[in-house]
Amino acid sequence: MLFPFLTLVLLAVASQTLAQAGPFAQCGGNGWTGSTSCVAGWQCVAQNAFYSQCLQQTVSTTSAPTSSSPTSTTTKTTTSSTITSCGILSATKSCSATLTVTGFPASAPTTPPSNLVGKTPALGWNSWNAYACSINETKVVAAANQFISLGLKTAGYQYINIDDCWSVMARNSTTNQIVPDPTKFPNGISGVATQVHALGLKFGIYSDAGTATCAGFPGSLGFESIDAATFNAWGVDYLKYGMSMNSVRNSNSAIRYRQMTAALAAQARPVQFNLCLWGNYDVWDWGARVGHSWRLSGDSSATWSYITSIISTAVQHLSNDTFGGHGDMDMMEIGNGALTIQEQRTHFAAWIMLKSPILLGTDLSLLNSTQLTIIKNAELLAFHQDLTIGAPAAPFTPFASAPTTSPPEYYSGKSSKGTHVFIINTAATAATKTFTFSQIPGLGASGSFSVHDMWAGADLSGTYTASATFSVTVQPHDTVAYFINVL
């Protein structure tokens, strides 16, 4: 009876794991199969349809306004504003408390983001999807070394970025600087940056436009200049700037982000600036004037429904994407969860063709050769990093009276080489996809063409006139990527 006994033990272990998600861990969202409850003292809070997270039960939505107790002070001589405070982005939680933040200026600097970096969308790695708050120097430096050993640096990946949870809870009471957690980062953040730079890579970090980060560590509101100077001294090249729990979120978001844009511009080191306010406040309308990329929605999850949902969102805002400013579909989930290899291919191809930053989000040592082949595909990366054409691919109608789908399945875009076509099969069964050459924007009603498979790096046989149709069987949830040769 050994087998049933073992099964019972395994089941007990599994249900124990499922019973309690840890601090800041995912605890829900469409497609989530893990634990939906949190350890004592933490509650599962929905951030969006795809991501719920265990957060500390500190935010009381019934507390009286705390306008008499400023939460942030600075030596700058500026005005005060009464602003609404809210917990983490949630459809189920309402804003009720107000607080006064001293030192919050009434108007925004209009300094643009640096034009020395961020022309094309970032390529790199971010610690969050792999490790959440369990980060440390060993893991970050390992990712940097894997960029070299796995050929990712050669393929174009540059940034090694630390997300939330890198500091201690209190600023230095003398200098007001954020203090790196000495256990996680025994050589400080500058010690990590030095090791990353020594490999010829760039280094990024995370802060928040409010008084605290998503995980409750110090945010930069009121301390923008001090933090920008500290990051500069440490060697920071990329800043992901959140707007999370304890952040003050209202229509003045752009002002708070602009404080940091200006503070970064005052430093010697150019910083690529990511605006992580989860697609709130029409960030696509002003994001390019303030930073190099802006998150289009809530946090990603390793699910097909997240991938299709964020593509549907991104295609609504493509007109704002060009050199120096890109909609951010969030960090990659390749290597995480139970995505099929076809879904992982679509994940990568969609981020490529829509020109989102691509920050790998897994323990790189666990990627297999198929996954590495996907993320190192030279032709797709060349489209993403093209220095002649800044615009992303956009949906097109593949043949007269083709049905519309959400997300769209057919996309075309230009690169310095010419015209490309990408086709997603959004169905759960294999499907034949067809387009007419003359329907591809910019190809015209005459001429002859052949088709090159960007995934395989090989020309397909056959030549076609403008009125001819091309058909291909696409696997469930897969994406094909073509370059159209004009003969």
Min dist. Cβ of residue 291 to ligand NAG (A): 11
Residue type at 149?
A: S
SS3 342: helix
> Which part of the chain contacts ligand NAG (CB under 6 A), choosing from 135-143, 217-225, 237-245, 461-469?
135-143
Residue 302 to residues 130, 346, 375, 428, Cα–Cα distance (Å): 11, 12, 16, 17
Residue nearer to ligand NAG on the CB measure, 320 or 397: 320
State the Cα–Cα distance between residues 428 and 409, nearest whole angstrom.
13
**Least distance from C-beta 338 to ligand NAG, angstroms?**
8
Q: Where are the alpha helices (DSSP H) in 150-187?
A: 152-155
Cβ 134 to ligand NAG shortest distance, Å: 7
- The two tokens of residue 292 are 């190099």
Instruction: Note the Cα 455 to chain centre separation in Å.
Output: 23
Q: Is 314 in the site for ligand NAG (CB under 6 A)?
A: no
Kindly state the smallest distance separating residue 174's Cβ from ligand NAG, in Å. 5
Between 66 and 319, name the residue whose CB sits nearer to ligand NAG.
319
Residues 213-272 close enough to bind ligand NAG by CB under 6 A: none
Site size toward ligand NAG, by CB under 6 A? 21
Minimum CB distance to ligand NAG, residue 181 (Å) = 9
Nearer to ligand NAG, 262 or 443 (CB): 262
Identified binder of ligand NAG from the candidate list 138, 406, 448, 473, rule CB under 6 A: 138
Site for ligand NAG in 370-389 (CB under 6 A): 370-371
140: contact with ligand NAG by CB under 6 A: no
Q: Would you count residue 319 as binding ligand NAG (CB under 6 A)?
A: yes
Stretch that binds ligand NAG, among 92-100, 103-111, 284-292, 440-448 (CB under 6 A): 284-292
Whether 248 and 214 have beta carbons less than 8 Å apart is answered as: no
- Is residue 152 within 8 Å of residue 331, measured between CB atoms? no
Task: Decide: is 341 part of the binding site for ligand NAG (CB under 6 A).
Answer: yes
Contact indicator for 326, 292 with CB cutoff of 8 Å = yes
Interface of this chain with ligand NAG, residues 168 to 197, rule: CB under 6 A: 172, 174-175, 179, 184, 186
What is the distance between the alpha carbons of residues 265 and 273, in angstroms, rounded to a whole number? 10
Annotate 237-301 with DSSP letters as a single string.
-EEEEE--TT-B-STTHHHHHHHHHHHHHTSSS--EEEEESTT-TTHHHHHHHH-SEEE-SS---
- Contacts of residue 312, defined as CB under 8 A and 6 or more positions apart, other chains included, come to 406, 407
Handedness of CA 118, 262, 230, 283 (dihedral sign): negative
Binding segment (CB under 6 A) for ligand NAG, from list 53-61, 85-93, 105-113, 137-145: 137-145
Give CA–CA dist 288/113, Å, rounded: 8
Asked if residue 146 binds ligand NAG (CB under 6 A), the reply is: no
Q: Which is nearer to ligand NAG, 206 or 323 (CB)?
A: 323
Which residue in the set 33, 68, 77, 368 belongs to the binding site for ligand NAG (CB under 6 A)?
368
- Distance between CA atoms of residues 205 and 209, nearest Å: 14
Task: Please tell me whether residue 320 binds ligand NAG under the rule CB under 6 A.
Answer: yes
- Told to check if 369 binds ligand NAG by CB under 6 A, we report yes
CB closer to ligand NAG, 285 vs 459:
285
Q: Maximum CA pair distance of the chain?
A: 76
Q: What residue ranges bind ligand NAG (CB under 6 A)?
A: 136-139, 172, 174-175, 179, 184, 186, 284-285, 288-289, 319-320, 341, 368-371
